[in-house]
Amino acid sequence: GARCCAHRPSRDGATEVYNNLSMPLGGLVPFARMAAVAHAATRAAGFVARASSAASTVVKGSRLIDIMDKTVVDDVFGHALKKQTGVSLKYMLDFGANPIERQLILSAQFLHKELPVRLAHRVAELENLPYGLSAKSSILKVRDWYVESFKELRTFPTIKDLGDEIKFTELLRSIYRRHANVVPVMAQGVAELRRELVKHNSLTELPEIHQFMDGFYLSRIGIRILIGQHIALHEPPKSNHIGLICTKCSPVQVAQDAINDARSICLREYGASPEVTVYGDPKFAFPYVPSHLHHMVFELVKNSLRAVAERYDGGDTEPPDVQVVVATGREDVTIKISDMGGGISRAGVKRMWNYLYTTARSPLPDLDPDDESYVALPAVLAGYGCGLPLSRLYARYFGGDLQIISMEGYGTDAYLHLNRLGNSQEPLP
The shares of helix, strand and coil residues in the chain, as percent rounded to the nearest 5, are 50, 10, 40
Pick the catalytic residue from 114, 269, 299, 426.
299
Euclidean distance between CA atoms 416 and 336, whole angstroms: 6
Q: Tell me the β-bridge partners of 245.
A: 242
Burial of 213 (0-12, 13-18, 19+ CB in 10 A): buried
Nearest CA-CA partner of 309 in 337, 275, 279: 275
Pick the catalytic residue from 151, 210, 294, 295.
295
Whether 299 sits among the annotated catalytic residues: the reply is: yes
Euclidean distance between CA atoms 252 and 199, whole angstroms: 45
Q: Tell me the β-bridge partners of 402.
A: 416
Q: Is 189 helix (H, G, I), strand (E, B) or coil?
A: helix
Euclidean distance between CA atoms 220 and 146, whole angstroms: 11
CA 162 to chain centre: 30
CA distances to 93, 242, 276, 297, 303 from 253, rounded to whole Å, are 22, 19, 14, 11, 20
CA 247 to chain centre: 21
Euclidean distance between CA atoms 19 and 16, whole angstroms: 5
Euclidean distance between CA atoms 351 and 293, whole angstroms: 23
Pick the catalytic residue from 128, 181, 303, 354.
303
Nearest CA-CA partner of 95 in 108, 83, 114: 108
Euclidean distance between CA atoms 129 and 147, whole angstroms: 16
Pick the catalytic residue from 90, 136, 230, 302.
302
Whether 295 sits among the annotated catalytic residues: the reply is: yes
CB atoms within 10 A of CB 14: 23
Spatial strand order of the sheet with 286-288 comes to: 241-242, 245-249, 286-288
Euclidean distance between CA atoms 135 and 133, whole angstroms: 5
Euclidean distance between CA atoms 67 and 64, whole angstroms: 5
First to last CA, the chain: 17
Burial of 79 (0-12, 13-18, 19+ CB in 10 A): buried
Q: Show which residues are catalytic.
A: 295, 299, 302-303
